[in-house]
Structures are given as C-alpha cells and as structure tokens.
Chains A and B, each alone.
Chain A
Amino acid sequence: MFRPATLTALAILALAGASLAGLAGAGGNVAALSSLGPYLARLVAGATVQAGLSMLLSILLGTALALALLRRRFPGRNLLLAVLTAAAVAPTIVIVFGVIAIYGRSGLLGDLARAVGAEPPAIYGLQGILIAHVLMNMPLVTRTLLQAFGREPGERRRLASALGFSAADCFRHLDWPVIRREAPALATFVFLLCFTSFAVVLSLGGGPANATLEVAIYEAVRFEADFARAAALAGLQLVLCLGLATALATLAPAVHDEASAERHAARPDILAPCLLRLDCLVLILATAWIAPPLLSIASGVAAVPTLATAEFAWAAATSAAIALGAGLLACLFAVLLASAARGRRLRPRLPDLAAFTMLGLPPFAFVAGLYVLTRNLADPAALGLMLVPLVNALMALPYAYRLLAPPLATNAERHGRLAESLGIAGWTRLRLVEWPALRAPLAAAFAFATALSLGDFGVIALFGGGELTTLPYLLANRLGAYRMDEAGALALVLVLSAGGLAYLTERWSARHA
C-alpha cells in the first residue's frame, strides 16, 4: 500500500516531469539548443563569472564578519545580527530597491558625487549585480558560520586558553576546521542562488550582457513566446542546477551538535590587540556596507500615504492570498513527505528525491511548462492565481522539508515503537505524538515559505499584470518608472510584513520549543 509520503513524492515528481514534458512538447529539442550556439555559451559563461564572483566575495566578507562577531561582544551586536537577518530574509526586489537608493544615479552616493562635482556611479551592470548579491548572501554566510561556530564544544576554547594558543593558533585549530567543513556547501549554495538569480539580474543587470539563464527563459516566454528556446534553455538550466544541487547534497556537512556544557567559554585570542583592531575595522566596514541600503527602506515611511489606492489594496490582498496559500501548501507537502520517517527507514529516498528535485528545478522552466500544459484551459490571470501559489510552495518545499524532516525522524526514533505498540497511528499519532515536536519547526517553515512567496518576484513576473498584481510586482513597476518614493513605501510594507512574520514565528517557536 502506498503511504502518504510516497504518494506526495510521486505526485510532485510527476508534476515536475509533466511540466518539463509540456515545455519540450512545445518545440524544445537538441537542435534548438545547438542553434543557439555562441549566445548560449556567452550566457552560461557570463552567469558563471557573475555567480562565481558573487560567491567568492560573499564567502570572504561573510567569513570575516562571522569571525569578528564570534570574537566580540559589544553594545549593538544584537542589532547588527538583526540587520543581518533582515538582509538575508528581505525580498530580493526590496534589496534591489535598497541598492538603487544608495548606489543609483539618484541615490545617496550619486548625490554625494554630484555635490563634489564628480560623475555619479553607474549601478547597472555586473557591479550592480555583485553589490546586490553580496548584500543578500554575505549575511547568509555570516549567520550560517556563526551557528556552526556556536555548535562547537566550549571545552576546545577552554583547552586553547589552557594551552596558551596565540591568535594564529586559535584560527588554525578552532576556526579553520569549522570554515573548511562548512564552506564548500555554503559556497555551492550561494553560487546556486546567484546562478539562478532573477530579480536582481533583471533589475540591475543593465541588458542581455549580464543575463542569466533564468532571465533568458523569462524573456523567451514573456516577450517572444518562443517556447522552443525556453525549453532548450530550461533543459540546460535543469542539468546545471541538478548538478549543483547534487554537489550541494554531497558537500553539505551533517549537522552535528556535540554535547557540551561549555557553550559560552571565552576564547584566548580576544585580548590580542592586532586582532581587536582588525575586528573593529571589519565590524565598522560591514555595518557601513549593510545598514544604509536597509535603512533607506525606512525612508519610505514618508510616502506611505501614497499607498492609499485601490491598486495597492488589491495587490496587498492578492499577495496575502498567494503567500498564505503557498505557506500552507509548502507545509502540507513537507509534512506529508517527512511523514516517511514513520516507516523508520534510515533514508526515505523517494521524499528526499522529490524535495531535492525541486531544489534543482528552475522555477521558470517549471512554471512555463505548467503554463504550456494548461494555457488552453483557463485565462492567464486565473491560471496565474492557481499556479503562482503552487509553484511558490514547491520552490519553498526543499527548505520546509529540511526544517521538518529531522524533528519527525527523531520523534519516530524515540517514540515510534511505543506509538506502534499502543496502536497510535494516523491523525491521532500526528496530534498526540508528533505535534509537540513539530509545531515550532512547522511555524518556522510556514513563515519561511510565506515570506518567500510574499517577496517573490520571479514566477509572478511571468503571469503578473492586469488583475494579477502583487506587492513585489508593483514595486518592480515603480522602480522601473523611477517612482522611488512609492517604491520605498512598498519596500517598507514588504519588509515589515516579512519581519512581522519572522517575529511572530520566533515568539511562537520560543513558547513551544
């Protein structure tokens, strides 16, 4: 008999397969791919260089900041950590707004340049993409490394103190092993994010020279209705992304939380004067780099009254409906897949495969395929309203699954046999046995999936317009029209919504941890 996890996994894989088949059936073939020739090579090479540089800068700067934050305690440290979290979870289109508000021709730096008689900086192009990507991914690197450092047993720091480690010894024996363990997977993940970047490249890329495959697929579907080209590009993107996702799965270190009663032991290198100066410099530069684009969003508060329009209300309602739907669907799929742990098999391969496939599947290829399959069934706006939450949910699924599968597996290991011996199964088992372990990560998964969908300017770019307008779509429109005041107000609303969601989840998780 098929279990719910197996059925869900099969349904997701079938949907992914049907979507790609739909796209391929619309005309995509190897001949189409080869005819694209130099264009395709340039596209892949450009995206690789862009993603490689973004990854390198994010890893280097993020690691330096993580080490400085690890070693130092100072007033405002928690605020800086909150800013890092905000930058990591802020919708991409909001980051784009922040970058333009600071580094754009009419931004803060542009004004300063004009004030001293210099030429304002050019933001559109590779430099703009790098600034935005590093702004988004450096905080991710910093937070991930800080968490990894925090899991290290404090006894090793005590030992370092007792053995008289210098600053260099501390880096070599305490920090470097952690960095070496975490960096490959982290670098691959950041590369994957930048390689498949859409909103940043579309908004700041400055033209085809810096396009990614994702942007090229979007242009082929949206502007040229060239499904053959889209299918060829999507096939290539799928192969590359699945390759990267495979590398990610191979490189990702197992999260090992070594039992230790000494989490807060001090490090011996915090007294080294040269390191103190270096850390201060890193912290000041990082704050000066991250804070202004995010603070620029606060300037949108003055323009909030301009949002009192029917267009905004409709976009907000649409966004809320799509995001809540995506959040619920992502959690439902993730719980169903994670319920494979009830079988107490060591590695539930099929659910893993389903979640993994969604990590490697380009959203545009997926949604374009679904669009091709269903375009004759309903009008695009109605289709979009159904497909956007579904695709957003499936895109958030790998992350939601990663949050929910480990606690369910642990729960099955601890209480599975007892539940079976007592005849507790199905819904009753979920309610009585699994829910206590599930509610905190479920809240986090819901908030993450909802926030991801709320800020999505990817799939909606394909369907958006007319009646189907979301807040990110509206924000991108305002940015394109250089209506920066309204864009600022919209960015503020998006950030406050995502932040509020994160705050409520944090409180819920803390209460039910």
Chain B
Amino acid sequence: MLELAGLSLDYPGFAARYDLVIPPGALCAVIGPSGGGKTTLLHAIAGFERPTAGTLRFAGADLLPLTPARRPVSILFQDHNLFPHLTAAENVALGLKPSLRLDDSERERVAAALAEVDLAGFAARRPAELSGGQRQRVALARALLRGKPLMLLDEPFGALDPGLRREMIERVDALRREHGLTVLMTLHTPEEAASHADLFALVRDGHVEASGPWARLTASDGPEPVRRFLGI
C-alpha cells in the first residue's frame, strides 16, 4: 500500500500538502488542472523533491530517507525518457547496469523486456529511429526490467495520438496485472483511463481534493470539485 500523510512541499508562491492512500496493485489516475501539483506529487514520491513535513510509506517502509535510486519506484516522463546516443537495447539495459557492462544472462533479460513490449526487432535502433509510441514502450521495458513494484507515469502518453494513447494505457494495465505493480499515472483526459483505473485522485492547488473510483466520482451525487473539473 502507498500512503501519503500530510506530505508537504514548500516553494515560493506554491505550497502542497498531499494525503492519499492507494491499495497495493491498484492503478490510480491522477487528474487535475495544469499547475495544480500533479507532477510535484509524482516527483515527491520518486524522491526528486524534498518534502518539508509528512510521511511517505510504501508496503510499510518509510521512503523519505531513501535516494531516488533506492526507492521501489520506476518513473516515466512525457518525453526524454531515453538517451539519444544509446540504442533501444542499451537504454533498456540502463535499468540493470548504468555501466552497460552486461553478461549473457543480463543481455537475455534485456531482449526479453523488449519482446514483452513488442519491440524485439528494434534493439539496435536509436531513439531518433523510433516512433513516439515505440520510444515510450522502450522506456516501459526498462521500467519493467528494473522490477520496482511502484510505477509512476507523468503524462507519458500525452504526446501520442488518441488511439495510441488508449493502446498504451491498456498495455500498462496489462503489465500492471501481470507483474502486480502499483501504478500512479497523471492524465489530461481521464475518460481514457476510466475503464482501467481502480481509482482517480483529483489534485488541485497542491492538494488531493477528492479520490475514489470513477463511477463514484462521476455520479450525480459525486464530489463537487470533480464534477466541476470534468464539466458534468
């Protein structure tokens, strides 16, 4: 279970305080207006931002003292997930060994991770030779290879076409179920994740204003902030 209790971050002109509980193995879609604090929430969990107060626990363990690399977390950004000078296979291999000195079994694991995202024949290609969707799948393969139980996706499919976006969300959902991952994903178009996400969290002004399953949030007696945000 991922638990955030009073997790606070202070910046000039912006203060955030997050309270949220996500059950193990759940897919939580984080929605909200731009500049509301969605990315800050993910970055705080990943360890890129240093909270000033509060607690952050995953599976009972306190994450706050851990550096980003030691946290049980993989993260995908909207863009720049790959290093342009490395091939797809090398980008995936970074998840195992940043030095890229791999033995045979590690090379096999890299190939298997690429095959799992249907990119078996693309190992030698560089990011510039891949489409947007393929690039994100390479990043996904790396995240899987790292074997971290908590996956954070910061609008990773925002730049893709609607059809491809839906396909990628389905793929993430399938991988989540297969590997038992807990997933937090920020989204601009919540409807696309409605049939996959176990719960939604509306983040505005640095706070989780409402959270729960899609059906409850969008019901006629659902929380007012969510209805206002979705325009229903």
Contact = CB atoms under 8 A, between A and B. Distances in A.
Interface of A: 153, 155-156, 158-166, 168-169, 173, 177, 180, 258-262, 265-266, 268
Nearest to A165: B98
Contact of B80 (A163, A164, A173, A260): A260
Given A161-B47, A162-B46, A265-B48, A155 B98 contact: no
B77 A177 contact: no
Given A162-B69, A265-B48, A155 B83 contact: no
Given A158-B48, A161-B47, A173 B68 contact: no
Given A161-B47, A268-B68, 16 more contacts: A153-B79, A153-B80, A155-B77, A155-B79, A156-B83, A159-B77, A161-B68, A162-B47, A162-B73, A164-B68, A164-B98, A166-B98, A173-B86, A173-B98, A177-B83, A177-B84
Interface in B28-80: 39, 43, 46-48, 67-70, 73-75, 77, 79-80
A471 to B, nearest CB: 45
Contacts of A159: 75, 77, 80-81
Given A164-B69, A177-B85, A158 B77 contact: yes
Interface in B73-113: 73-75, 77, 79-81, 83-86, 94-95, 98-99
A164 B71 CA distance: 10
**What interface size band does chain B fall in?**
20 to 34
A467 B60 CA distance: 85
Contacts of A158: 43, 46, 48, 68, 75, 77
A311 B160 CA distance: 69
A166 B67 CA distance: 13
A156 B143 CA distance: 15
Contacts of A261: 39
B147 to A, nearest CB: 13
Nearest to B94: A163
Nearest to A261: B39
18 contacts: A153-B80, A159-B77, A160-B98, A161-B69, A162-B68, A164-B67, A164-B68, A164-B69, A164-B70, A166-B98, A166-B99, A169-B98, A173-B94, A177-B84, A258-B79, A259-B79, A261-B39, A268-B67
Contacts of A161: 47-48, 67-69
Interface of B: 39, 43, 46-48, 67-70, 73-75, 77, 79-81, 83-86, 94-95, 98-99, 146
Contacts of B81: 155, 159
A163 B69 contact: yes
Contacts of A180: 85
Contacts of A168: 99
A259 B48 CA distance: 19
A155 B67 CA distance: 16
Contacts of A163: 69, 94-95, 98, 146
A258 to B, nearest CB: 7
Contacts of A153: 79-80
B99 A169 contact: yes
Contacts of B86: 173
Contacts of A177: 83-85
A159 B95 CA distance: 10
Nearest to B77: A155
A336 B219 CA distance: 63
A262 B81 CA distance: 12
A163 B139 CA distance: 12
A153 B127 CA distance: 15
B99 to A, nearest CB: 6
Nearest to A154: B80
A266 B67 CA distance: 12
Contacts of B70: 164
Nearest to A259: B79
Contacts of B67: 161, 164, 268
A265 to B, nearest CB: 7
B78 to A, nearest CB: 8
A258 B84 CA distance: 12
A160 to B, nearest CB: 8
Nearest to A166: B98
A162 B79 contact: no
A169 B48 CA distance: 19
Contacts of A262: 77
Nearest to B98: A169
B105 to A, nearest CB: 20
B70 to A, nearest CB: 7
B104 to A, nearest CB: 22
A399 B58 CA distance: 56
Nearest to A162: B68
Contacts of A265: 48
Contacts of B80: 153, 155-156, 159, 258, 260
Nearest to B146: A163
A163 B69 CA distance: 5
| Nearest 10 Cβ contacts at the A-B interface | A164-B69, A155-B80, A169-B98, A153-B80, A161-B68, A177-B85, A155-B77, A162-B68, A165-B98, A173-B83
Contacts of B95: 163
A494 B128 CA distance: 48
A158 B74 CA distance: 11
Residue from B69, B80, B99, B146 having most chain A Cβ neighbours under 10 A: B80
A162 B74 contact: yes
A149 B95 CA distance: 23
Contacts of B68: 158, 161-162, 164, 268
B130 to A, nearest CB: 16
Nearest to B95: A163
Nearest to A181: B85
A156 B77 CA distance: 10
B185 to A, nearest CB: 16
Contact of B75 (A162, A166, A258): A162
Given A162-B46, A177-B85, A260 B98 contact: no
A487 to B, nearest CB: 48
Contacts of B79: 153, 155, 258-260
Contacts of B73: 162
Nearest to A170: B98
A11 to B, nearest CB: 41
Contacts of A258: 79-80
